[in-house]
Amino acid sequence: MKISFFATTALFITATEAFHVGHGGRRTTSLNILTGTESAAERVAKIMSNKPQENEAFDKLVKKNFPGAISNKELETKVANILETRGLTPANTLLCTSLCCDELARSLEDDLNKVYGHNFNLGGLSGFPFAGNTGFGAMSAHVPDGGYCLLVHGPHVGITKDGVIGKVERSGIALVDNCCGSAIAASNYLKGITDGGAKITTKLQQFSDFQQGAVQELILPFGKRLNEAENRMKELPYALYDSQDILVRDIISSGSKGIKSGLALLSGIQINTSPETLDYFHPLRFDYYDEIGVVVEDLLPSLMVSAPVTSVILNALDQGQ
């Protein structure tokens, strides 16, 4: 389909030019240390060449359990291209994340680090934005002058090769263990209250486990929802997402004066899988904020297009065209 590729490439380049906004400021900050002139899409294509191949049967299994989920390969490719058409490039964009502490949550972050440079970390256990307003304010000040922020946020959940939700295989560890451990511990705490008559024992004053105390406080409103869920482990990340989504958007709203040229908020559920398969992501929000902190575009539909121009470009890059 070479004709199709060239036609769509021409369309993509035209779209890039049409949406591109010039930026005068410095090109890097100490946090955003990438050099080179490769586009975000070219960087993603390189990263994906070292990932496991797509597995059709597992892809179906994940999507059956998490309708709306797409592989990280598809996610990262589309995000890089969509943002590039809005003027967000590796040189002018600071990556900011709010993801769980678990090393499995680093998989998506590591990929994006290779595209946009080191990230500012807002997140903590379960993916809550524990760095809060202060963290967001500091992060905003580190965005290159005239540049942008890409904020990626979400709780995570594991799924094993045979489809058990809430668990995942980990490299070098025989035990197929919980994922997300923090969320499941908070869920068990909540179940003890709703089903077993246990007392609320929030230990926010206990600083040695401050974040988990907060997760357990923040999950309290979801007792009924989780008890009535067909699959508690499947519902858990979505319940946490709803809580985190309010917090993240409130933090952006409170710090909107610090936004420079614009901010893209990509949020959803990270779905971690075994080392042999691609990770997935269920995007639930992809909002573009302008320089005064107003959401001016919903980019989510662009992520959900099944046959994007961008994948044609990626395939061509994969083949060295």
Q: Which residues bind Zn ion (CB under 5 A)?
A: 100, 102, 180, 182
Whole-angstrom Cα distance, residue 253 to residue 250? 5
Please, are residues 28 and 144 in contact by the beta-carbon 8 Å criterion? yes
Q: How far apart are the first and last CA of the chain?
A: 12
Which of 88/99 has CB closer to Zn ion? 99
Instruction: Report the nearest approach of Zn ion to the CB of residue 180 (Å).
Output: 3
Instruction: Report the nearest approach of Zn ion to the CB of residue 240 (Å).
Output: 10
Instruction: Report the nearest approach of Zn ion to the CB of residue 101 (Å).
Output: 6
Which of 143/248 has CB closer to Zn ion? 248
Q: List beta partners, residue 22.
A: none
Instruction: Report the nearest approach of Zn ion to the CB of residue 236 (Å).
Output: 11
Instruction: Report the nearest approach of Zn ion to the CB of residue 166 (Å).
Output: 11
Which of 180/248 has CB closer to Zn ion? 180
Which of 102/111 has CB closer to Zn ion? 102
Give the DSSP H/E element, type plus range, for residue 206.
none
Whether the link from the prior residue into 180 is cis, omega within 30° of 0, is: yes
User: Quick one: tokens of 113?
Assistant: 């680090």
Instruction: Report the nearest approach of Zn ion to the CB of residue 100 (Å).
Output: 3
Residue 105: partners with Cβ closer than 8 Å, 6 or more residues away: 99, 127, 156, 270, 272
Instruction: Report the nearest approach of Zn ion to the CB of residue 190 (Å).
Output: 16
Residue 282: closest CA among 225, 226, 221, 240: 240
User: Quick one: tokens of 42?
Assistant: 């070219």
Which of 98/182 has CB closer to Zn ion? 182
User: Which string of DSSP letters, residue by residue, matches 155-208?
Assistant: -EEEB-TT--BTEEEETTEEEEEESSHHHHHHHHHHHHHHHH-PPP---TT-GG
Which of 142/191 has CB closer to Zn ion? 191
Residue 145: closest CA among 20, 26, 291, 34: 26
Which of 100/112 has CB closer to Zn ion? 100
